[in-house]
Amino acid sequence: MEIRNIAIIAHVDHGKTTLTDGILRQTGMVEEGVSMDSNKLEQERGITIYAKNTSIFYKGTKINIVDTPGHADFGSEVERVLRSIDTVLLVVDAQEGPMPQTRFVLKKSLELGLKPIVVINKIDKHAARPEEAHEEVLELFMELGATDEQINFPVIYANGRKGVAMLNPKDEQKDLTPLLDMIIEKVPPAKNDASAPLEAQIFNLAYDNFLGRLAVVRIYNGKMKDGQTIFITKPTGEIRTARITRLYTFKGVMKDTVSEALAGDIAMIAGISDAYIGETIGENAELKPLPAINIDEPTISMNFLVNESPFAGREGKFVTGRQIRERLEKELEINVGLKVDFDVPSETGLNMMTVYGRGELHIAILIENMRREGFELQVSQPHAILKEINGVTSEPYEEVTVDVPQEFQGTVIEKLGKRKGIMKDMKIKENQVRMIFEIPTRGLLGYRGSFIVDTKGLGILCSRFIDFRPYAGEIQKQEFGSMTCMVTGKTMAFSLWNLQERGVLYIDPAVEIYEGMVIGHVLNGEDLEVNPTKNKALSNMRTSGNDEALYLIPPMRMDIEKGLETMQDDEYLEVTPKNVRLRKKLLTNTDRQRAKRK
């Protein structure tokens, strides 16, 4: 049987997973309502976080499909997948056209010599402009230095939600057959020399509570058998042996246990307890390692500590430094974009670990997963990573694409300008403005929440990492002052009613609080010590204003991402299975004043 290996790549929310789900349904591999985004967090947020393998059978051909994330923070998932497939489907929104992550994934694909098939998706949108989007994609190919062969890419138009594809936008809409036929026609069959010595490479990792670490491999030559002894070669040339204890191939969204897997296929194996991305697998020690799979390095860092707030240990199952350390070690096995320094000296003497990631969302997803598993911890404010390059202090820079209604462009330009953003391009179309900025990652940290407020939720902001550049100097950000509790107790509606005039609150009445906990922010930039436990003074006198109703504005609910955006350098975000709280590192005002004087 012939095998085709493809990956679906695109900017976030351009419809990769919906299109993959449509292909699976049409070929009878899944029932209605089953989605590739099987992870609970993915379903809640409507984004793909982890690259996933699936396969379909069409016209006697097996097509392995890898669905990849579109968000820049999970770019490392895309990078390693591209090495294991033969062609990509580049999905582009017919209204938005190419976006920052489109450029990132296409650049990686072209560098590897892949010849993409372009899918102009969401042609049912009211403002869809499929022909213009096609032109913009062509310009992007030329800009990224595509070869003549790559520029001559096939195009198909689709509506992933309805499960239809057409060679021309005005063709009759039936199903996804035109796309499947194009894959069979344009994607070269995988080399399948089963008689050659085994040659395979690990490009993804998974974890099973019973089998331990699982390696997802592309088999380039030969065959792989259950129970076989294999030689694993690191890119550096070191060799070790292991035995395959379980062998799977993919069938729809399920794993299929098999006794052997042949060249050209994608398989999953158990038995290599220390498998790592980019390692080469062979049946003898003479095999040369395949080229290493390089992953872009992290751009931000954050400290993870044991929770030692006054409410510590009330809600979590896993609260010790050893448990947090073990969980991070397990995460490193499958999350290759992440790095962890486990022994960092801390001023407070607490067990502290520094976690390095590709962006705020990358680390926020890890914290959210840990919280749901029953962990309690506290984390510090995210910081951009600085490093010395040729004797010059350098920091990560990002390219930011902003789409906003024209009325908000001034505010966005002003705010990003203060954060050292430099505008590189601006296009106006009807009432919409698209602006492209280059900005230090430091300047972008904590801006997204403010951007949503400034554009009344009508703006779109996307970013992608460019490279490390010389340090841009001090950055002026609008800092909120924190509303910090001066007492421990329960909040009272009367106190909160008075405090809501001073800023934005994070909590409701009748909530337990402790001294040093941050319950809101004030807009003037100065920290404010407050007592939210005071009730109305009762007296025998009645006045006209005495019994007026207390109208409380609904509080801003604190979650992990909001916390990482709003927290200050002298604060921790306390994360437990039931609550996310902001607190000062030093809980008493006396300690904070003493630290300031130092």
What pLDDT was estimated at residue 50? 67
| Nearest to 253, CA basis, from 471, 403, 33 | 33
Question: Does residue 269 surpass a pLDDT of 90?
Answer: yes
Q: Per residue, what are the HEC states of 496-547?
A: HHHHCCCEEECCCCCCEECCCEEEEEECCCCCEEECCCCCCCCCCCCCCCCC
- Strand, coil or helix: what is 65? strand
What is the C-alpha to C-alpha distance for residues 294 and 496, in angstroms, rounded to an integer?
Answer: 52
Name residue, tokens 């502290």: 352
Rg (CA), the chain: 27
Q: What is the CATH number of domain 199-282?
A: 2.40.30.10
Q: DSSP secondary structure string, 375-427?
A: B-EEE---EE--EEETTEEEEEEEEEEEEEEGGGHHHHHHHHHHTT-EEEEEE
**Band of residue 374 on the pLDDT scale cut at 50, 70, 90:** very high
What pLDDT was estimated at residue 307? 92
Mean pLDDT of 274-281: 87
**Band of residue 72 on the pLDDT scale cut at 50, 70, 90:** low
What are the strands, taking DSSP E only, across 149-227?
Answer: 155-159, 164-166, 199-208, 212-221, 223-225
Mean pLDDT of 372-388: 92
Question: Does residue 515 surpass a pLDDT of 90?
Answer: yes
What are the tens digits of pLDDT across the range 21-63? 888 888 887 766 556 556 677 666 676 666 778 888 988 899 9
- Strand, coil or helix: what is 486? coil
What is the C-alpha to C-alpha distance for residues 8 and 218, in angstroms, rounded to an integer?
Answer: 16
Domains of the chain, by residue range, sit at: 2-186, 199-282, 387-470, 481-540+548-597
Buried-exposed string 400-431: b where 16+ CB fall within 10 A, e elsewhere? bbbbbeeebbebbbebbeebbbebeeeeeeee
What are the tens digits of pLDDT across the range 144-176? 888 999 999 999 999 888 888 889 888 888 888
Mean pLDDT of 297-322: 90
Question: Does residue 477 surpass a pLDDT of 90?
Answer: no
What is the C-alpha to C-alpha distance for residues 495 and 210, in angstroms, rounded to an integer?
Answer: 53
Mean pLDDT of 413-418: 91
User: Going by C-beta distance under 8 Å and a sequence separation of 6 or more, which residues neighbour residue 545?
Assistant: none
What pLDDT was estimated at residue 538? 66
Q: How many residues are recorded in the chain? A: 598
User: Going by C-beta distance under 8 Å and a sequence separation of 6 or more, which residues neighbour residue 118?
Assistant: 89, 90, 92, 134, 137, 153, 154, 155, 156
- The CA-based angle 577-580-586, given to 5 degrees, is 120
What are the tens digits of pLDDT across the range 524-560? 778 889 998 888 776 655 555 555 677 888 888 888 8
Name residue, tokens 């951009």: 384
Q: What is the CATH number of domain 481-540+548-597?
A: 2.40.50.250
Instruction: Give the number of other Cβ atoms within 10 Å of residue 266's Cβ.
Output: 27
What are the tens digits of pLDDT across the range 214-263? 898 999 989 999 999 999 998 888 888 999 999 999 888 788 899 989 98
On average, the pLDDT of the chain sits at 86
CA atoms within 13 A on the CB side of 445: 25
Question: Does residue 521 surpass a pLDDT of 70?
Answer: yes
Name residue, tokens 């607190």: 583
Quote the tokens at residue 360.
């705020």
The matching CATH number, chosen from 3.30.420.40, 3.40.50.720, 3.30.70.240, 3.30.70.3000, for 387-470 is: 3.30.70.240
What pLDDT was estimated at residue 191? 82
Percent share of the chain, pLDDT over 70: 92
Contact of 587 with 574, CB cutoff 8 Å:
no
CATH 3.40.630.30 corresponds to the domain 2-186: no
Instruction: Give the number of other Cβ atoms within 10 Å of residue 588's Cβ.
Output: 12
What pLDDT was estimated at residue 246? 92
Question: Does residue 481 surpass a pLDDT of 80?
Answer: yes
What are the angstrom distances between the C-alpha of 116 and each of 108, 266, 517? 11, 20, 52
Question: Does residue 493 surpass a pLDDT of 80?
Answer: yes
